A and B are shown apart, each in its own frame.
Chain A
Amino acid sequence: MSENLIEVKNLKQYFPVRAGFKTLQLKAVDDVSFTVGKGETLGLVGESGCGKTTVGRSILHLYEPTAGQVFFEGEEITKKNIAEMRKKMQIVFQDPYSSLNPRMTVEDIIGEPLDVHKLYSNKKERRERILDLMETVGLNAEHATRYAHEFSGGQRQRIGIARALAVNPKFIVCDEPVSALDVSIQAQVINMFEELQEKLGVAYLFIAHDLLVVRHISKRIAVMYLGKIVEIADADELSDHPEHPYTQSLLSAVPIPDPKIARERQRIVLEGDVPSPLHMPTGCPFRTRCKYATEQCAKECPTLKDKGNNHLVACWNR
Chain B
Amino acid sequence: MSEYDVNKTPKKQVLSMQLDLSKFEKATEEEKKQQDVMSESTTFLKDGLRRLRKNRLAMASLIVLAIILVIIIVAPMVVPYSYDEILKVNGVRDKGAKNLAPFTYSVLEQEYIDAGNFRFPHIFGTDEQCRDYFIRVVYGTRVSLVVGFFASIIVLIIGLIYGSISGYAGGRTDLIMMRIVDMIYSLPDMLVIILLSVVLGSVLKFKGGSFLASIGANMISMFIVFGVLYWVGMARLIRAQILSIKENEYVLAAKSIGAKPGRIIRKHILPNCLSVIIISTALQIPSAIFTESYLSFVGLGVSAPMPSLGSLANAAREGLQSYPYKLVFPAVAICLVVLSLNLIGDGLRDAFDPKLSR
Contacts and interface: CB of A to CB of B under 8 A. Distances in A.
Contact of B263 (A60, A116, A160, A257): A116
A149 B38 CA distance: 11
Contact of A62 (B2, B38, B256): B256
Contacts of B252: 57, 62, 93, 99
A103 B249 contact: no
Interface stretch (A22-30, A68-76, A83-91, A240-248): A83-91
Given A90-B256, A103-B272, A116-B257, A149 B358 contact: yes
Contacts of B210: none
B157 to A, nearest CB: 21
B91 interface: no
B277 to A, nearest CB: 13
Contacts of A145: 41
B259 interface: yes
Contact of B257 (A103, A113, A151): A113
B70 interface: no
A98 B250 contact: yes
A112 interface: yes
A91 B41 CA distance: 28
A98 B1 CA distance: 35
A102 interface: yes
B67 interface: no
B88 interface: no
Contacts of A147: 41, 43-44
A298 B254 CA distance: 43
Contact of A112 (B39, B41, B254, B272): B254
Nearest to B269: A101
A117 B258 contact: yes
Contacts of A257: 1-2
Contacts of A150: 38-39, 41
Interface size class of B (residues with CB under 8 A): 20 to 34
Contacts of A116: 257-260, 263
A140 B249 contact: no
A83 B267 CA distance: 19
Contacts of B253: 91, 93, 99-100, 160, 163
Nearest to B259: A116
A146 interface: yes
A60 B258 CA distance: 11
Interface in B235-262: 248-250, 252-260
B268 interface: yes
Q: Most B CB atoms within 10 A — which of A60, A102, A257?
A: A102
Contacts of A146: 38, 41
Contacts of B31: none
B170 to A, nearest CB: 13
A92 B358 CA distance: 24
Contacts of A90: 256-257
Contact of A87 (B44, B258, B259, B358): B258
B271 A103 contact: yes
Interface string B263-304: 100011001101000000000000000000000000000000
Interface size class of A (residues with CB under 8 A): 20 to 34
A117 B263 CA distance: 12
B36 interface: yes
Q: Most A CB atoms within 10 A — which of B253, B254, B271, B272?
A: B253
Contacts of A112: 254, 257, 259, 267
B137 to A, nearest CB: 42
Interface in B18-76: 36, 38-39, 41, 43-44
B358 A62 contact: no
Contact of A101 (B2, B39, B268, B274): B268
Interface string A149-180: 11100000000100100010000000000000
A86 B41 contact: no
A167 B257 CA distance: 9
A31 interface: no
B39 A99 contact: no
Interface string A116-152: 1100000000000000000000001001011101110
A86 B258 contact: yes
A124 B58 CA distance: 43
A86 B38 contact: no
A234 interface: no
A28 B272 CA distance: 30
B272 A101 contact: yes
Would you list the 10 A-B pairs with minimal beta carbon distance, nearest first? A86-B258, A99-B249, A103-B271, A101-B250, A98-B249, A113-B257, A93-B249, A98-B248, A91-B256, A116-B259
Given A102-B44, A147-B41, 18 more contacts: A86-B258, A90-B256, A91-B253, A91-B256, A94-B249, A99-B250, A99-B253, A100-B250, A101-B268, A101-B272, A103-B44, A104-B271, A116-B260, A146-B38, A150-B38, A150-B39, A160-B253, A167-B257
30 contacts: A62-B252, A86-B258, A87-B258, A90-B256, A93-B253, A98-B248, A99-B248, A99-B250, A99-B252, A99-B253, A100-B250, A101-B250, A101-B267, A101-B271, A101-B272, A102-B44, A103-B44, A103-B271, A104-B267, A104-B271, A112-B259, A113-B258, A116-B258, A116-B259, A116-B263, A117-B258, A145-B41, A147-B41, A163-B253, A257-B2
